[in-house]
Amino acid sequence: MAAWLVWLIAGFILISAEVMSGDLWLLMIGLGALGGAAAAALGAGLVISTVVFAVATIALVAGVRPVLKRKMLAGPDHKTNTQALIGARALTVTPVDSQQGQVKIGGEIWSARSHSPDDTIPEPGTPVIVMAISGATAIVAPEP
């Protein structure tokens, strides 16, 4: 059997086994084996293919795996979309009351209204805190 085919089969077996482990070790080793298969298919000998496998695996484990783990393990505390805006500081663009207004949050203009029906923020440029997001409207309160 050709050496490249052995590397290829080993790579696919390792990548398939990653489905059960979920820790990304087998995926990185399997991708390294695919690198060894590519080297063997291009005519490299066993020693060169093994070196390509080892270097690729070490590079993937040291460089790619930590990045992927961070992305995958962001966890439930990692807020995205509108949830990430709650608690953010904003600046009023127009006067804000319980019915209407506009604020700038992170460089974007949002429709806004005050958190309390009694609050009116008359001055543009006033710092506010985003208390909630309702649809496309930021509910804001004056900064303490």
Q: What pLDDT is attached to residue 22?
A: 80
Closest CA to 90 of 113, 118, 59: 113
Q: How many CB atoms lie within 10 A of CB 35?
A: 21
Residue 9: band (very low, low, confident or very high) from pLDDT cuts 50, 70, 90: very high
Reply yes or no on whether the pLDDT at 23 is more than 70: yes
- Considering only the top CATH level, what class is 81-142? mainly beta
Alpha-carbon distance of 89 to 134, in angstroms, equals 17
Residue ranges covered by each domain of the chain = 3-72, 81-142
Element (H, E) at 138: strand 137-142
Reply yes or no on whether the pLDDT at 73 is more than 90: no
Q: How many CB atoms lie within 10 A of CB 48?
A: 14
Evaluate whether 142 touches 133 at the Cβ level (below 8 Å): no
Which amino acid, 57? T
Q: What pLDDT is attached to residue 80?
A: 65
| Angstrom distances, CA of residue 12 to CA of 7, 30, 106, 140 | 9, 6, 45, 53
Reply yes or no on whether the pLDDT at 62 is more than 90: yes
pTM for this one?
A: 0.52
* Percentage of residues of the chain with pLDDT beyond 90: 60
